[in-house]
Amino acid sequence: MTLYSATITLILIMDPLGNIPLFLSVLNHVTPKRRKHIILRETFIAFVLLTLFLFFGKYILEGMHISQPALQIAGGIILFLIAIRMIFPHESLEDRGKQKEEPFIVPLAVPLIAGPSTMTMVMLLANQAPNDMLRWFIALFIAWLISTIILLFADVLRKILGQRGLIAIERLMGMILTTMAVQMFLSGFETFLHV
Protein backbone atom coordinates (compact mmCIF):
# COMPACT_ATOMS: atom_id res chain seq x y z
CA MET A 1 0.00 0.00 0.00
CA THR A 2 1.32 3.44 -0.90
CA LEU A 3 1.39 6.54 1.31
CA TYR A 4 -1.47 7.99 -0.73
CA SER A 5 -3.71 4.92 -0.54
CA ALA A 6 -2.99 4.44 3.19
CA THR A 7 -3.86 8.10 3.88
CA ILE A 8 -7.08 7.96 1.86
CA THR A 9 -8.08 4.70 3.56
CA LEU A 10 -7.51 6.16 7.02
CA ILE A 11 -9.48 9.32 6.14
CA LEU A 12 -12.37 7.19 4.88
CA ILE A 13 -12.35 5.08 8.04
CA MET A 14 -12.12 8.12 10.34
CA ASP A 15 -15.05 9.53 8.33
CA PRO A 16 -14.79 13.20 9.41
CA LEU A 17 -17.60 14.34 7.09
CA GLY A 18 -19.89 11.61 8.33
CA ASN A 19 -19.01 12.52 11.93
CA ILE A 20 -19.87 16.23 11.52
CA PRO A 21 -23.59 15.86 12.38
CA LEU A 22 -22.79 13.71 15.42
CA PHE A 23 -20.02 16.00 16.66
CA LEU A 24 -22.32 19.01 16.34
CA SER A 25 -25.13 17.11 18.05
CA VAL A 26 -22.94 16.02 20.99
CA LEU A 27 -21.44 19.53 21.30
CA ASN A 28 -24.69 21.39 20.66
CA HIS A 29 -24.86 22.82 24.21
CA VAL A 30 -21.22 24.02 24.11
CA THR A 31 -20.19 27.51 22.94
CA PRO A 32 -18.48 27.62 19.49
CA LYS A 33 -15.11 28.68 21.01
CA ARG A 34 -15.20 25.87 23.58
CA ARG A 35 -16.40 23.46 20.87
CA LYS A 36 -13.18 24.02 18.86
CA HIS A 37 -11.10 23.41 22.01
CA ILE A 38 -12.93 20.14 22.69
CA ILE A 39 -12.56 18.99 19.06
CA LEU A 40 -8.79 19.69 19.18
CA ARG A 41 -8.44 17.84 22.49
CA GLU A 42 -10.47 14.81 21.39
CA THR A 43 -8.78 14.48 18.00
CA PHE A 44 -5.36 14.73 19.67
CA ILE A 45 -6.28 11.96 22.13
CA ALA A 46 -7.42 9.83 19.18
CA PHE A 47 -4.13 10.51 17.38
CA VAL A 48 -2.08 9.45 20.42
CA LEU A 49 -4.10 6.22 20.76
CA LEU A 50 -3.76 5.40 17.06
CA THR A 51 -0.01 6.09 17.18
CA LEU A 52 0.31 3.67 20.10
CA PHE A 53 -1.58 1.01 18.13
CA LEU A 54 0.57 1.70 15.07
CA PHE A 55 3.87 1.16 16.90
CA PHE A 56 2.86 -1.37 19.57
CA GLY A 57 -0.12 -3.14 17.99
CA LYS A 58 2.26 -5.77 16.61
CA TYR A 59 3.17 -6.84 20.14
CA ILE A 60 -0.50 -7.02 21.08
CA LEU A 61 -1.08 -9.30 18.08
CA GLU A 62 1.92 -11.49 18.95
CA GLY A 63 0.79 -11.74 22.55
CA MET A 64 -2.65 -12.88 21.41
CA HIS A 65 -1.23 -15.19 18.67
CA ILE A 66 -3.14 -13.44 15.87
CA SER A 67 -1.75 -14.02 12.35
CA GLN A 68 -1.60 -11.45 9.55
CA PRO A 69 -4.27 -13.19 7.42
CA ALA A 70 -6.60 -13.29 10.44
CA LEU A 71 -6.03 -9.57 11.01
CA GLN A 72 -6.63 -8.79 7.33
CA ILE A 73 -9.84 -10.83 7.21
CA ALA A 74 -11.10 -9.37 10.50
CA GLY A 75 -10.15 -5.88 9.34
CA GLY A 76 -12.04 -6.41 6.08
CA ILE A 77 -15.14 -7.58 7.96
CA ILE A 78 -15.01 -4.64 10.39
CA LEU A 79 -14.51 -2.15 7.55
CA PHE A 80 -17.39 -3.73 5.65
CA LEU A 81 -19.71 -3.38 8.66
CA ILE A 82 -18.62 0.25 9.17
CA ALA A 83 -19.22 0.94 5.47
CA ILE A 84 -22.69 -0.64 5.60
CA ARG A 85 -23.56 1.56 8.59
CA MET A 86 -22.35 4.59 6.64
CA ILE A 87 -24.57 3.70 3.69
CA PHE A 88 -27.56 2.55 5.76
CA PRO A 89 -27.50 4.40 9.11
CA HIS A 90 -29.94 2.92 11.62
CA GLU A 91 -29.47 5.20 14.61
CA SER A 92 -30.83 8.76 14.74
CA LEU A 93 -28.58 11.69 15.58
CA GLU A 94 -30.90 12.56 18.44
CA ASP A 95 -30.36 9.14 20.01
CA ARG A 96 -26.59 9.31 19.56
CA GLY A 97 -26.28 12.90 20.72
CA LYS A 98 -28.21 12.89 24.00
CA GLN A 99 -25.14 13.43 26.16
CA LYS A 100 -25.42 16.79 27.96
CA GLU A 101 -22.10 17.05 29.82
CA GLU A 102 -18.84 17.86 28.07
CA PRO A 103 -17.51 14.70 26.40
CA PHE A 104 -14.09 13.39 27.36
CA ILE A 105 -12.52 10.62 25.25
CA VAL A 106 -15.86 8.82 24.76
CA PRO A 107 -17.64 9.09 22.30
CA LEU A 108 -15.69 11.61 20.20
CA ALA A 109 -12.07 10.40 20.45
CA VAL A 110 -13.11 6.76 20.91
CA PRO A 111 -14.91 5.25 19.02
CA LEU A 112 -15.77 7.98 16.48
CA ILE A 113 -12.20 8.77 15.39
CA ALA A 114 -10.06 6.03 16.94
CA GLY A 115 -12.58 3.25 16.64
CA PRO A 116 -11.98 -0.49 16.26
CA SER A 117 -11.76 -0.21 12.47
CA THR A 118 -9.13 2.58 12.57
CA MET A 119 -7.10 0.72 15.21
CA THR A 120 -7.30 -2.45 13.12
CA MET A 121 -6.23 -0.55 10.01
CA VAL A 122 -3.10 0.99 11.59
CA MET A 123 -2.11 -2.39 13.07
CA LEU A 124 -2.66 -3.97 9.66
CA LEU A 125 -0.43 -1.39 7.98
CA ALA A 126 2.30 -1.93 10.58
CA ASN A 127 1.98 -5.72 10.31
CA GLN A 128 2.05 -5.81 6.49
CA ALA A 129 5.15 -3.63 6.12
CA PRO A 130 6.99 -3.19 9.44
CA ASN A 131 9.96 -1.57 7.65
CA ASP A 132 7.75 1.30 6.43
CA MET A 133 6.69 2.60 9.83
CA LEU A 134 7.66 6.17 8.96
CA ARG A 135 5.40 6.03 5.90
CA TRP A 136 2.48 4.72 7.96
CA PHE A 137 3.05 7.35 10.65
CA ILE A 138 3.04 10.10 8.01
CA ALA A 139 -0.15 8.63 6.51
CA LEU A 140 -1.76 8.55 9.95
CA PHE A 141 -0.66 12.12 10.69
CA ILE A 142 -1.97 13.48 7.36
CA ALA A 143 -5.29 11.63 7.76
CA TRP A 144 -5.61 12.90 11.34
CA LEU A 145 -4.74 16.48 10.32
CA ILE A 146 -7.29 16.51 7.48
CA SER A 147 -9.96 14.98 9.75
CA THR A 148 -9.23 17.53 12.48
CA ILE A 149 -9.44 20.47 10.05
CA ILE A 150 -12.74 19.17 8.65
CA LEU A 151 -14.19 18.76 12.15
CA LEU A 152 -12.99 22.23 13.21
CA PHE A 153 -14.94 23.69 10.28
CA ALA A 154 -17.99 21.51 11.01
CA ASP A 155 -20.38 24.46 11.44
CA VAL A 156 -19.26 26.06 8.18
CA LEU A 157 -19.41 22.78 6.23
CA ARG A 158 -22.90 22.04 7.55
CA LYS A 159 -24.06 25.46 6.32
CA ILE A 160 -22.41 25.01 2.91
CA LEU A 161 -23.33 21.37 2.23
CA GLY A 162 -26.53 21.14 4.25
CA GLN A 163 -27.75 18.03 6.03
CA ARG A 164 -28.54 16.24 2.76
CA GLY A 165 -25.14 17.04 1.30
CA LEU A 166 -23.37 15.61 4.36
CA ILE A 167 -25.50 12.46 4.22
CA ALA A 168 -24.80 12.05 0.49
CA ILE A 169 -21.03 12.41 1.01
CA GLU A 170 -21.07 9.95 3.90
CA ARG A 171 -22.89 7.37 1.78
CA LEU A 172 -20.49 7.87 -1.11
CA MET A 173 -17.57 7.34 1.28
CA GLY A 174 -19.33 4.23 2.54
CA MET A 175 -19.52 2.85 -1.00
CA ILE A 176 -15.79 3.41 -1.54
CA LEU A 177 -14.99 1.87 1.84
CA THR A 178 -17.11 -1.19 0.99
CA THR A 179 -14.94 -2.02 -2.02
CA MET A 180 -11.77 -1.49 0.03
CA ALA A 181 -13.14 -3.78 2.76
CA VAL A 182 -13.90 -6.55 0.25
CA GLN A 183 -10.40 -6.20 -1.23
CA MET A 184 -8.83 -6.42 2.24
CA PHE A 185 -10.90 -9.53 3.02
CA LEU A 186 -9.91 -11.18 -0.29
CA SER A 187 -6.22 -10.32 0.25
CA GLY A 188 -6.31 -11.87 3.72
CA PHE A 189 -8.03 -14.98 2.40
CA GLU A 190 -5.51 -15.27 -0.43
CA THR A 191 -2.60 -14.91 2.02
CA PHE A 192 -4.18 -17.57 4.24
CA LEU A 193 -4.50 -20.02 1.31
CA HIS A 194 -0.84 -19.53 0.36
CA VAL A 195 0.40 -20.05 3.94
| Residue 82 one-letter amino acid | I
| Residue 148 one-letter amino acid | T
Which position has the higher pLDDT, 37 or 64?
Answer: 37
Strands (E), 61-151: none
Domain ranges of the chain: 3-194
Most confidently modeled range among 7-11, 91-95, 110-114, 175-179: 7-11
Q: What's the chain's average pLDDT?
A: 85
- 51-83 per-position pLDDT tens digit: 999 999 888 878 888 887 887 788 788 778 877
Average pLDDT, integer, range 21-44: 89
Confidence label for 92 from pLDDT (cuts 50, 70 and 90): low
- 119-175 per-position pLDDT tens digit: 888 988 998 888 999 999 999 999 999 999 999 999 898 888 887 888 888 788 788
pLDDT at 100 over 70: no
Residue 119: which of 152, 80, 79, 83 has the closest Cα? 79
Distance CA(19)–CA(117), nearest Å, equals: 15
CB 21 within 8 Å of CB 166: yes
CB 50 within 8 Å of CB 125: no
The predicted pLDDT at position 10 comes to 94
pLDDT at 93 over 50: no
